[in-house]
Amino acid sequence: MKLSCLQENLNKGISTVSRLVATKGTLEILSHILINTEGGRLKLSATNLEIGVNYKIGAKIEKEGGITVPARLFSEFVSQLPEGKINLEVKENTLYTNIGDFKSNIKGLAVDEFPLIPKINTKKTLSLKSGELKEAINLVSFAAALDDVRPVLSGMFIRAEKDKITLAATNSYRLAEKIINLSKKDIPKKEAIIPARSMIELARILDDPEKEVSIYLNETQVIFETDDVEFTSRLIEGQFPDYKQIIPSESETKAVAPLSDFAGIIKVASLFSREAAGSVTIEVKQKGKIEAISAATQYGDSTASCEAEVTGKDTEIVFNSQYILDVLNNLSGNRASLELSGKLNPGVIKKEGDKTYIYVIMPLRA
Amino acid sequence: MKLSCLQENLNKGISTVSRLVATKGTLEILSHILINTEGGRLKLSATNLEIGVNYKIGAKIEKEGGITVPARLFSEFVSQLPEGKINLEVKENTLYTNIGDFKSNIKGLAVDEFPLIPKINTKKTLSLKSGELKEAINLVSFAAALDDVRPVLSGMFIRAEKDKITLAATNSYRLAEKIINLSKKDIPKKEAIIPARSMIELARILDDPEKEVSIYLNETQVIFETDDVEFTSRLIEGQFPDYKQIIPSESETKAVAPLSDFAGIIKVASLFSREAAGSVTIEVKQKGKIEAISAATQYGDSTASCEAEVTGKDTEIVFNSQYILDVLNNLSGNRASLELSGKLNPGVIKKEGDKTYIYVIMPLRA
């Protein structure tokens, strides 16, 4: 391999792929990134065996080839270099770099030791804007289970059908569902469960909201592809719970409050509820208030309220405060709505006026 | 105690003092902050038994008194509250707070359980501008030893005499000395060794460079005082090394280079020198270059150079790269000078044109 490219492009590519690299343990090769030439560009690749990422940058290629190099050293090194044209050359498993007055060589491993990131040969399932996909991932992914006790619950359900994609995640105590409407009307039905961790990494990588992302889905893998990134994840096998049945179809009480005020009172209540596993009592009052009450503990107690537009009857319910904060911290917009039907039924939080997103929380027994 | 003050002042005061609070282990009372009324203001206090900080804020006091409350809870709580007037009242070791629609009570401990932060009755030693003291601490403190193997080396030496203060620190492999010239000419000679950790905390607290700081020094304690902060530290007993003797009086080679270029080549060389305990060879060349070379290791090697104005003869020396980066990362200004006298004598780094600061590094044997 012998080529030149711009330090600023190389640096961006390395920082995009190197997040995936294993930092310790496991195989040495997994702490490396693969760099090689492909289709007239320089391709950087990293994988943790669950996710694989390829990032392509423009390069002037004199000789095709490749090498793998330790990700941490290469990433710190390139980030310290000045901007401008950098020359890269591989000789006998060593990468020689040269830019201005900086000359280095980094010992690597042969390309064929690097695990293959699988390619998909199926047809494109659909495509959409990066920004829409990223927003949807951020609104849904936190609701997944953090552990793998029930693997399907650590995943994000994705369904493409007709003119929309549905994303959903649940840890069985709370559920988030987001629908993205598409301009195409005839997308064939496909479903999959993608690890939520993979989707969170994908959202971090999608940095230009205007870019088009194509999705390719088969029985075991999914690929998200833009003009410079290919992001591959394995799928989770199994049946996602039939979550639609727990979404309440109507409510007895509805309160609409400014997002930041609502988050503020829950945050204060949560500080006093650590001993009580985060449980906070929420009272919605017809006279126009949401009140968050944390029961007395060894540290003290707290009552905080904010103004709200309330319809329906007075009610109260006990929730895990963190579950409320998770959604309020991710919602955009000015106002959020809280819909309740007594203390035993699930509550619903939405962004005011947005029918494409719903967040359901199961009540705690007070 | 019964009083009102502004949430924004209370929040600033708590965040200033609560950094000192022990987060685990030790005595429960050390994880608390003390709040009480004094001289018509509200005083917040925290101590880790080595350092004590008092911070005073304006308050409208209806009834004198005080309490101690858990620092973490109180600090997170107040930071979440809206701006404006907050009412505080103590009844039976409980602090009642009330601002807008937020009503809380926090259980505390009696004031007399809180360790006394000693007061000094000596006369003021001197005073100077916060900004000057903070800059000096930042230029000197990192040179102290991180461990307490030789306690005096974990301290910062301070000497007040005539018209100046001298601050110095050394871990016996490198030394930093900063002189602050004062307008007063007749300051009596006083010396002390203050824990470098204390000085680093002090620098963090001094946030307004224009504020006057008064220093009070006796045999065992030092106090730094502004109009709202009193910062007390114990002193370290012992004799600070007679470091003046290791400061070279002249040099054979001098190179002056742009600070960021110089730091850039050392940083790159340091990446390749981890196996070699950070050792980097520095060559200064009459033709106008500083070159940083890291010897080949299992990862590779690197040569990087930057332009410099060089006087005197060609030379080379081996330094711990981290020791060079420490000073370059803290120097302000555009250009730094490196003065060398062969590979066996200590090197000197200064900010160009600044006679008040000197940094000396002992060479490594190559």
Closest residue of A to B299, CA-based?
A: A107
Min Cα distance B90 → chain A (Å) is 13
| Interface-testing mutation among B31, B86, B302, with chain A (most A C-beta atoms within 10 A) | B302
**B208 pLDDT exceeds 90?**
yes
Q: Which CATH superfamily is domain B126-244 in?
A: DNA Polymerase III, subunit A, domain 2 (3.10.150.10)
Contact criterion met (CB below 8 Å) for A228 and A41: no
pLDDT digits 0-9 by tens, B58-105? 999 999 999 999 999 999 999 999 999 999 999 999 999 999 999 999
Contact criterion met (CB below 8 Å) for A143 and A153: no
- The top-level CATH class assigned to A248-361 is alpha beta
Contacts of A210 (CB under 8 A, 6+ apart): A129, A130, A131
CA distance A88 to B129: 52
- Predicted confidence at residue A262, as pLDDT, reads 98
| Interface-testing mutation among A105, A260, A262, with chain B (most B C-beta atoms within 10 A) | A105
Q: Count other Cβ atoms within 10 Å, centred on residue A49.
A: 13
Exposure string for B241-261, b = 16+ CB within 10 A, e = fewer: bebeeeeeeebbbbbbbebeb
CA distance A254 to A238: 36
The rounded Cα A310 to chain-centroid distance in angstroms is 33
Sign of CA dihedral A316, A318, A321, A327: negative
Q: Is A218 on the interface with B (CB under 8 A)?
A: no
Contact A300 B105 (CB under 8 A): yes
Contact criterion met (CB below 8 Å) for A338 and A290: yes
Q: Is A36 on the interface with B (CB under 8 A)?
A: no
Q: Is A272 on the interface with B (CB under 8 A)?
A: yes
**pTM for the full model?**
0.92
Contact criterion met (CB below 8 Å) for B356 and B178: yes
Could you state, in order of their start, the residue ranges of all structural domains in chain B?
2-113, 126-244, 247-361
Q: Is A83 on the interface with B (CB under 8 A)?
A: no
Min Cα distance A309 → chain B (Å) is 16
Contact A101 B265 (CB under 8 A): yes
Q: Looking at the partner chain, which of A70, A268, A272 has a beta carbon nearest the beta carbon of B299?
A: A70
| Interface-testing mutation among B73, B75, B96, B102, with chain A (most A C-beta atoms within 10 A) | B102
List phi, psi (to 5°) of A44.
-105, 135
Contact B300 A271 (CB under 8 A): no
**B81 contact residues in A (CB cutoff 8 A):** 268
Beta carbon pairs, A and B, within 8 Å = 90
pLDDT digits 0-9 by tens, A221-230? 999 999 999 9
- Would you state the structure tokens that stand for residue A130, as one six-digit string? 């990066």
CA distance A130 to A207: 8
Q: Is A215 helix (H, G, I), strand (E, B) or coil?
A: strand
Min Cα distance B299 → chain A (Å) is 5
pLDDT digits 0-9 by tens, B10-59? 999 999 999 888 777 678 899 999 999 999 999 999 999 899 999 999 99
- Predicted confidence at residue A22, as pLDDT, reads 72
Q: Is A92 on the interface with B (CB under 8 A)?
A: no
Min Cα distance A39 → chain B (Å) is 29
**B94 contact residues in A (CB cutoff 8 A):** 300
Q: Looking at the partner chain, which of B104, B271, B302 has a beta carbon nearest the beta carbon of A302?
A: B104
- Predicted confidence at residue A366, as pLDDT, reads 57
- Predicted confidence at residue B270, as pLDDT, reads 95
Contact B104 A272 (CB under 8 A): yes
Contact B107 A70 (CB under 8 A): no
Contact A107 B267 (CB under 8 A): no
* B8 or A276, which is more confident: B8
Closest residue of B to A291, CA-based?
A: B101
CA distance B204 to B243: 27
CA distance A337 to A52: 39
| Interface-testing mutation among B266, B271, B290, B325, with chain A (most A C-beta atoms within 10 A) | B271
Closest residue of B to A82, CA-based?
A: B264
Q: Which CATH superfamily is domain B247-361 in?
A: DNA Polymerase III, subunit A, domain 2 (3.10.150.10)
Complex ipTM? 0.89
Contact A300 B101 (CB under 8 A): no
Contact A103 B303 (CB under 8 A): yes
Query: CA nearest A300: which of B140, B72, B95?
Result: B95
Q: Is A94 on the interface with B (CB under 8 A)?
A: yes
Contact A298 B272 (CB under 8 A): no
Contact A298 B107 (CB under 8 A): yes
- Predicted confidence at residue B357, as pLDDT, reads 98
Contact criterion met (CB below 8 Å) for B339 and B347: yes
Min Cα distance B344 → chain A (Å) is 27
Contact criterion met (CB below 8 Å) for A53 and A230: yes
Domains B2-113 and B247-361 share a fold: yes
- Would you state the structure tokens that stand for residue A168, as one six-digit string? 């959903």
Contact A76 B101 (CB under 8 A): no
Which amino acid type is present at position A4?
Answer: S
- Predicted confidence at residue A20, as pLDDT, reads 86
**B264 contact residues in A (CB cutoff 8 A):** 80, 82
CA distance A110 to A28: 12
pLDDT digits 0-9 by tens, B292-328? 999 888 889 999 999 999 999 999 999 999 999 999 9
CA distance B326 to B142: 7
**B260 contact residues in A (CB cutoff 8 A):** none
Average pLDDT over residues B245-266: 96
Closest residue of A to B296, CA-based?
A: A105
- Would you state the structure tokens that stand for residue A12, as one six-digit string? 């961006």
The correct answer on CATH 3.40.50.1370 for the domain covering B2-113 is no
Q: Is B213 on the interface with A (CB under 8 A)?
A: no
Strand order in the sheet with B60-63: A315-320, A279-285, A289-297, A300-307, B102-107, B94-99, B85-91, B2-6, B60-63
CA distance A298 to A276: 10
Min Cα distance A287 → chain B (Å) is 14
Q: Is B94 on the interface with A (CB under 8 A)?
A: yes
CA distance A282 to B223: 48
| Interface-testing mutation among A67, A83, A95, A268, with chain B (most B C-beta atoms within 10 A) | A268
**B366 pLDDT exceeds 60?**
no
Contacts of A362 (CB under 8 A, 6+ apart): A173, A174, A346
Q: Is B73 on the interface with A (CB under 8 A)?
A: yes
Determine the Cα angle at B231 with ends B228 and B333, to 5°: 90
Contact A105 B264 (CB under 8 A): no
CA distance B70 to B106: 8
Which amino acid type is present at position B96?
Answer: Y
- Predicted confidence at residue A28, as pLDDT, reads 86
Q: Is A167 on the interface with B (CB under 8 A)?
A: no
| Interface-testing mutation among A302, A306, A325, with chain B (most B C-beta atoms within 10 A) | A302
Report the phi/psi class of residue A238: left, alpha or beta, with left for phi > 0 and alpha for psi in -120 to 50: left
Which amino acid type is present at position A46?
Answer: A
- Lowest-confidence region among A256-270, B191-205, B269-283: B269-283
Half-sphere exposure (CA, 13 Å, Cβ side) for B253?
A: 25
**A271 contact residues in B (CB cutoff 8 A):** 73, 76-77, 80
pLDDT digits 0-9 by tens, B114-135? 998 888 788 898 999 999 999 9
Closest residue of B to A109, CA-based?
A: B299
Q: Which whole-number Å values give the CA distances from A56 to A37, A43, A73, B147, B187, in the listed order? A: 9, 4, 20, 47, 66
Q: Is A303 on the interface with B (CB under 8 A)?
A: yes
**B253 pLDDT exceeds 90?**
yes
Q: Is B321 on the interface with A (CB under 8 A)?
A: no
- Tens digits of pLDDT across chain A (366 residues): 999 999 999 999 999 999 888 777 678 899 999 999 999 999 999 999 899 999 999 999 999 999 999 999 999 999 999 999 999 999 999 999 999 999 999 999 999 999 988 887 888 989 999 999 999 999 999 999 998 899 999 999 999 999 999 999 999 999 999 999 999 889 999 999 999 999 999 999 999 999 999 999 999 999 999 999 999 999 999 999 999 999 999 999 999 999 999 999 999 999 999 888 899 999 999 999 999 999 888 889 999 999 999 999 999 999 999 999 999 999 999 999 999 999 999 999 999 999 999 999 999 975
